[in-house]
Structure 1
Amino acid sequence: MEGIVTVIILLLLNLSVIVILNEMIQTNPGLQDGIFIIKRSIVIGPARYQLWSWENVFIGAMLIADGIVVYWRLIRRYRQMQLRHIIDELHYIANGHYDHRIPFKIKGDTQRVIESVNALVDSVIESIQEERRIEKSKDELITNVSHDLRTPLTSIIGYLGLIENRQYHSEEEILKYTNTAYNKAIQMKSLVDDLFVYTKMRQADTPLSIAQLDLGQMLEQLAASFELEANEQGMTLHVDTPDQPIRIQADAEKLGRVFNNLITNALKYGDGGHNIYLRVKQVNANEVAASVENDGAEIPQQSLDQVFERFYRVEGSRSKATGGTGLGLAIAQSIVQLHGGYIYVTSAPSMTRFIIHLPIQHGQKLQAQIPDTLGGTLTDDETTETH
């Protein structure tokens, strides 16, 4: 309808212009002579055709101009209709239909707007889902902390209640009760300390005391500090380091906690094992790799992707004799990531390996390259295969 109305208005305008021009020419002899001279002087083509009817030329020019105006008006209206449909689609999505996307395929800049809107909706949905995951993670954290705090706290209250109510028969029983309460309090403190370290390491702005350190020397010192505990459990610590020192820029205290947690984990859960291997190797000019390995029980394949989750335990119980807070590996992963590196685990019947990759220079961030095949170690061939 807009096109039809536009055509009618343009035809009336053209007719008015033609009538006015005709009237001006008829009443002005000088203008007529000038037009005649111009007609004779204009020739077209090799046959030298002359334009004797200026009205036809003028009408043709006006028709071309009218066609351009009509096309512009229709295209403008069409784009307004497209925009209205896009707005309707946006309202539909905003009403809660978040799985819906604008299906139009349109040429020009409008298609870029549609693609941007769809990408924005995808981003919003992803943010909502991430927020829900964070909220669920917080709930799980509160539940797990409450569980792990309630168990020792119940024991502490119970034994102290026996002493308070004088339900003991000798001084030896009092010492037994207080000793049990003390051990449970130590367990609670360990959980609170680990939880504090975990939440602190999860923050991207956690300060690091960066210094130059010899990674091989650190592993040898850690092996010496765990030697007595390992001997008591029938295990032997082996350190495999290159002849040349491997120096990196890192926070020695926090990185020491990583290897401390991994060695402790190997001692606790390496059932049936007799050896723990600490290895370190320089991968290239910018990267080093270290591993803590044990020949104990294999980690089930379905548990490999979950071992770094907080409070997760492979043995499936939160009250096993192995104890622990379930935060050791999560803390280790957070510290490694804070240094710009990454950590992963492989497990086979012969060996379970926790492998750490760290940048040599502080401030660099490594791209995680975790092999699909399990059971790799830090030998020359397998390191090359991994990278």
Structure 2
Amino acid sequence: MSISMSILAELVQCQPQIRPQIYFKSSLIALSHAMEDQVLAGSDSPLVIATFQRERFYRQEAHRYRRIAALTSQVYVMAAPETEFKNASDAYETVAFPPEDILSKEWNLVVLGENYASCLVCIEREDLAENSEMSEQLTMDQARPFEGVWTSHRQICSQVAILLLGRVKYYRPEIQGKIEEAVNSFNLPKKLDKKGKSTTRKSRHNPKEEVELDSPLNDPFAHRLVTYLQAGQHKLLRVYRSLAVQEWKERLVNSITAAIRQSLDPEEVLEIATREFGEAMQAHRCLIYRCKSTDKSVVIEHEYLRSCPEQPEGTKVKSLRGETWWLENNPLFIQVLQQQRYVYLGEPGEVDYGIDEGENILAKLAEKWEIGGWLMVPILSQGRLLGMVELHQCNSVCRSWEDDELSLMDAIATQLAAALIQAETHANLEELNRQLEALERTRSNLIAITGHELRTPLSTIQVCLESLSQEPDMPLEMREVMLETAQADAERLRKLVQDFLTLSHLESGRVDWNPESLRLEECIDLAISGVSARYAENKPKIEVEINDNLPLVKADGEWLVELLTKLLDNACKFTSSEGQVTIKAKSNGDRMLEVTVADTGRGIEPNRLEEVFDRFYQEEGSLRRTVGGTGLGLAIGRQIVTGWGGRIWADSLGKNQGSQFHFTIPLVESELIINN
């Protein structure tokens, strides 16, 4: 069983005029050593009673109490045991109290000599450390706060002695005789009951009388020393706080920097930074979005929300994710651009937004989204705006940002800018790598094309010409075969060179487009005529399924016919003569006409639908094809469609399932007006 009422509380109860004050542990150490040194420097046999919170604290001072015990037999030491400390009568009396006793929170020391007295009665105030702005510093050993009394007033020292002896008797009733000897020897004005509580004798003073705590002999000087110690401890705490803030700032910057640089994906970087930034700054809402100085609005994609425990249960911070966030005419955004640094606004009622109420977009946003405190921090790189960080204090709760926090936000925004630039650079490098890989594939394919498409026709032409020149008596039929073969291979070479030049011309951007109003049917007829002449009897059936009232399109007629020819040629090449090629057209509702060239031929694997538009792409490989071609037709087609602002794509269910090639072409504006 333990006692729950502290010595300080009992003392104040008996002496209500006493006013405790706050001491730091470093000051209490100095005071305790001064009191112990006073005993060691004297020649009398004083009463000494000391309480330690834990055995480990006692062990640090045990050597001093052994020296004190050599001077007097009335020494009592109390502590909560951790290893070997126990009730014992050795050089001095040791008293072990349970850790749950209130004494485990106290720091008490009383010294009663023949001509002097002093006492220290304190209890640790953990609540001060928890609730203080310097909580981390106050948890350091030397800065732990205690509340209590230090005095050399003999009457109060005697009162403390009798209270402590009561605790000694409570835990060690077997030494009651020695305790009573101390009471009588030092003329203590109290006596103890059987429970270890103190009862008042007929007091020789008025208990309501103000007690002077300072000794007229040496207390003024001692109090000056204590005041100096306390002031020094306050200075140390301020230094510790400054160092702690700096350490926290560096640690936070490093942790956020490490978190946002774990990824090279800009969107993932922003998502991580939003969460880390919001948690670190303890904002109710944190937004991070990419923007330029000319943007009128952005769509919020990255958001961190923190609940408001200060608000009634069920109150939640509204989410802005997916909402359009207006920047145009936003005075806060404009001010950030002008100052190139953070801007902070407090509660809406205290903010002068600087514009008319009717035009005050900032006030409307603050009211709609319950923003009490609004901080906007720009993400800048060499003066260029990359994005923005916004911190919101919501509802009626508003906190003020310290200068250290604001500078920290600037530092983190700088790191975020570096991370974004790094991510963008990495993305650009990846794109360059893809382009280099494409160029390498182009080079390899070009070598293959050169070996197959150039060397083979040239060899054939050479053989035919050599045969014709070396055999003048060759039969007429054979001469015609040789000439037709050489002519066909020469045409293949001409077509290959022409496709090279066409693609190079389109990719260079040097094409002069001549858009005109065209009837799609006429362009289709021209393309079909060209393809039919090329394939003669081995072409599949070509069907045209378009409405007679199809609207006019706006395009360069020559290039439109070229595109249709390439698509029809490609469809006929991979479709047997028993198959069918169909041409369809429809409006896609986006001021564009969608044209489809579908076939029932070989089809395309779904995972290669995008690759077919690459330069020199050939499904069977350039050296083992069963059909001719350069592999440039669809690449040319994509460049043509891109030139007039359309798009082209392919669909197929797979091998031998046929394929469909779609492209869009703009409608004539007058047709749009009529249709609307």
- Cα contact 2:598–2:658 (8 A) shared by 1: yes
From 346, 355, 373, give the equivalent of 2:651: 346
Question: In structure 2, what residue type is equivalent to 1:359?
Answer: P
Counterpart of 2:664 in structure 1 is 357
Residues 344/273 of structure 1: CA separation in 2 closer, same or farther (3 Å cut): farther
Question: Are 2:452 and 1:145 equivalent residues in the alignment?
Answer: no
Question: Are 2:555 and 1:275 equivalent residues in the alignment?
Answer: no
- Cα separation, 2, equivalents of 1:267 and 1:200: 26
Question: In structure 2, what residue type is equivalent to 1:153?
Answer: R
Q: CA RMSD in A?
A: 4.4
Counterpart of 1:59 in structure 2 is none
Question: Are 2:414 and 1:113 equivalent residues in the alignment?
Answer: yes
- Cα separation, 1, equivalents of 2:464 and 2:601: 42
Question: In structure 2, what residue type is equivalent to 1:129?
Answer: E
Counterpart of 2:436 in structure 1 is 135
- Cα contact 1:160–1:177 (8 A) shared by 2: no
Query: Which deviates further from its counterpart, 167-176 or 289-298?
Result: 167-176
- Cα separation, 1, equivalents of 2:442 and 2:587: 37
Q: How does 1:209-228 map to 2 (within 5 A)?
A: 209-227=514-532
- Cα separation, 1, equivalents of 2:255 and 2:650: 52
From 423, 430, 438, give the equivalent of 1:122: 423
Counterpart of 2:501 in structure 1 is 196
Residues 200/72 of structure 1: CA separation in 2 closer, same or farther (3 Å cut): farther
Deviation at 1:82, TM superposition (A): 6.6
- Cα contact 2:526–2:561 (8 A) shared by 1: no
Question: Are 2:458 and 1:156 equivalent residues in the alignment?
Answer: yes
- Cα separation, 2, equivalents of 1:284 and 1:154: 48
- Cα separation, 1, equivalents of 2:441 and 2:469: 38
Question: Are 2:546 and 1:241 equivalent residues in the alignment?
Answer: yes
Question: In structure 2, what residue type is equivalent to 1:278?
Answer: I
Counterpart of 1:253 in structure 2 is 558
Question: Are 2:616 and 1:311 equivalent residues in the alignment?
Answer: yes
From 623, 626, 637, give the equivalent of 1:332: 637
Question: In structure 1, what residue type is equivalent to 2:589?
Answer: N
Query: Which deviates further from its counterpart, 74-83 or 315-324?
Result: 74-83
Deviation at 1:260, TM superposition (A): 0.4
Deviation at 1:177, TM superposition (A): 6.0
- Cα separation, 1, equivalents of 2:247 and 2:492: 74
List per-residue Cα deviations over 1:118-155 (Å, max 9, x = no partner).
22222111212221221222222122222222333365
Question: In structure 2, what residue type is equivalent to 1:279?
Answer: K
- Cα separation, 2, equivalents of 1:157 and 1:113: 65
TM normalised by structure 2 equals 0.38
Question: In structure 1, what residue type is equivalent to 2:415?
Answer: I
- Cα contact 2:445–2:622 (8 A) shared by 1: no
Structure 2 residue matching 1:212: 3-state secondary structure: strand
- The size of the alignment, in residue pairs, is 299
- Cα separation, 1, equivalents of 2:593 and 2:574: 26
Counterpart of 2:592 in structure 1 is 287
- Cα contact 1:272–1:296 (8 A) shared by 2: no
- Cα contact 1:211–1:250 (8 A) shared by 2: yes
- Cα contact 1:227–1:236 (8 A) shared by 2: no
Residues 171/338 of structure 1: CA separation in 2 closer, same or farther (3 Å cut): farther
Deviation at 1:80, TM superposition (A): 6.5
Structure 1 residue matching 2:651: 3-state secondary structure: strand
Residues 231/169 of structure 1: CA separation in 2 closer, same or farther (3 Å cut): closer
- Cα contact 2:457–2:492 (8 A) shared by 1: no
Deviation at 1:312, TM superposition (A): 1.6
- Cα contact 2:449–2:622 (8 A) shared by 1: no
TM normalised by structure 1 equals 0.62
Residues 85/235 of structure 1: CA separation in 2 closer, same or farther (3 Å cut): closer
Deviation at 1:291, TM superposition (A): 0.9
Structure 2: tracts of 5 or more residues without a match: 1-136, 138-233, 282-408, 670-676
Structure 1 residue matching 2:613: 3-state secondary structure: coil
- Cα separation, 2, equivalents of 1:184 and 1:231: 17
- Cα separation, 2, equivalents of 1:198 and 1:285: 28
Q: Going by fraction, where is helix more abundant, 1 or 2?
A: 1
Structure 1 residue matching 2:436: 3-state secondary structure: helix
Query: Which deviates further from its counterpart, 323-332 or 217-226?
Result: 217-226
Deviation at 1:264, TM superposition (A): 0.6
Q: Going by fraction, where is strand more abundant, 1 or 2?
A: 2
Deviation at 1:351, TM superposition (A): 4.3
Question: In structure 2, what residue type is equivalent to 1:137?
Answer: A
Deviation at 1:199, TM superposition (A): 2.5
Question: In structure 2, what residue type is equivalent to 1:271?
Answer: S
Structure 1: tracts of 5 or more residues without a match: 5-63, 363-387
- Cα separation, 2, equivalents of 1:165 and 1:226: 32
- Cα contact 1:271–1:296 (8 A) shared by 2: yes
Deviation at 1:294, TM superposition (A): 1.7
- Cα contact 1:216–1:280 (8 A) shared by 2: no
- Cα separation, 2, equivalents of 1:176 and 1:237: 31
Counterpart of 2:286 in structure 1 is none
Residues 112/139 of structure 1: CA separation in 2 closer, same or farther (3 Å cut): same
- Cα separation, 1, equivalents of 2:553 and 2:239: 72
- Cα separation, 1, equivalents of 2:513 and 2:590: 23
Deviation at 1:361, TM superposition (A): 5.5
